[in-house]
Amino acid sequence: MFPIAKAALSFLEISDYWSREIRPPASSKELLSILVSAWWLGELRGDSVHSRLQLLKMMFTSKYRDHLGIIFIVGDDAGPGPPQIDLPDGSIEIDARPEIRVPSSNIESWDEAACRDAFPALAELTEGSSIESYREFAVLLPSIKLTYGEFNTWRRSRGYPKPKFWRSQLKKSKPGRPAEYNWDGVKAQLRIYVSQYGPVQTLGELLQKCGEFACDLHPAKSTPNDKTIREAIETHGLAVAAGLSPKK
């Protein structure tokens, strides 16, 4: 059965298999929380139906918003100290729910950069107490699938040792022929880069970063030529992963 040779596994599957071997020990629930937290941070994307920005908008506009285990703070509206609730008997109750700050009440004006405070807050909340605080909106997150390349690149960036439960499906190159470039890994590296430094600003910067990451992931440290990189950007959606505007 092991190692598994599937092209992709879900967050739930990864956390289950990984918990059986990871050291120091961690439960599958803990590892699932770490993976979902990394998704909120933009380090992972997988085949998620909704982007993190889309899910945040859905949570904010939902009629069930007030029943979540979180409270949204709009812009700079919050005063000093935690929010307070005036009770009918005249007493005051402190609202101790975790605060998620969003830029404004108009979700049409939101973008990734404007929500830079909300994503880390949700990531911290998720890793600290799983997804129970907003489980109604997180039901699809455990089913997000990652390719081996994206998971392997992410776990390496986090310093986790290489797991034994999963192996790559990439075929070995024939003698004398260079290995295929790991564009899934490049895509994962771009998302991590964006989460740390912000979106790529120009096509030139995107070409440079794709070349660097592809070289780093290549067994022989070979750099792809310009034509190969441009084709990969188009084929593998690398511009989207890098946050590059189509106009740039």
Report the range of poorest mean pLDDT among 89-93, 145-149, 204-208.
89-93
Q: How many domains does the chain have?
A: 3
Q: Residue 131's pLDDT band (boundaries 50, 70, 90)?
A: confident
Position 48 pLDDT exceeds 80: yes
What is the C-alpha separation between 52 and 92, in angstroms, rounded? 34
Check: CB of residue 194 under 8 Å from CB of residue 42.
Answer: yes
What are 66-80's pLDDT values in tens digits? Answer: 878 888 999 876 555
pLDDT score, position 173? 47
pLDDT band at 244 (very low <50, low <70, confident <90, very high): confident
Mean per-residue pLDDT of the chain: 85
Supply the range of the domain harboring residue 214: 183-241
Shared domain for 81 and 121, answered yes or no, is yes
* Same-domain check for residues 217 and 111: no
Q: Is residue 114 part of a domain?
A: yes
pLDDT of 13 > 90? The answer is yes
pLDDT at 206 over 70: yes
Residue 110 lies in a domain: yes
**Which has the closest alpha carbon to 104: 77, 123, 122, 83?**
77
Strands 71-74 and 99-102: parallel
Assigned domain for 29 exists: yes
Residues 33 and 80 both lie in one domain? no
Report yes or no on 248 lying in a domain.
no
**How far is 104 from 109, CA to CA, in rounded Å?**
8
Residues 229 and 106 in one domain: no
Q: Is the pLDDT score of 91 beyond 80?
A: no
Burial degree of 64 (CB within 10 A; 0-12, 13-18, 19+):
exposed
Question: Looking at per-residue confidence, does 174 or 47 come out higher?
Answer: 47
Convert 80-98 to b/e letters by CB count within 10 Å (16 or more is b).
eeeeeeeeeeeeeeeeeeb
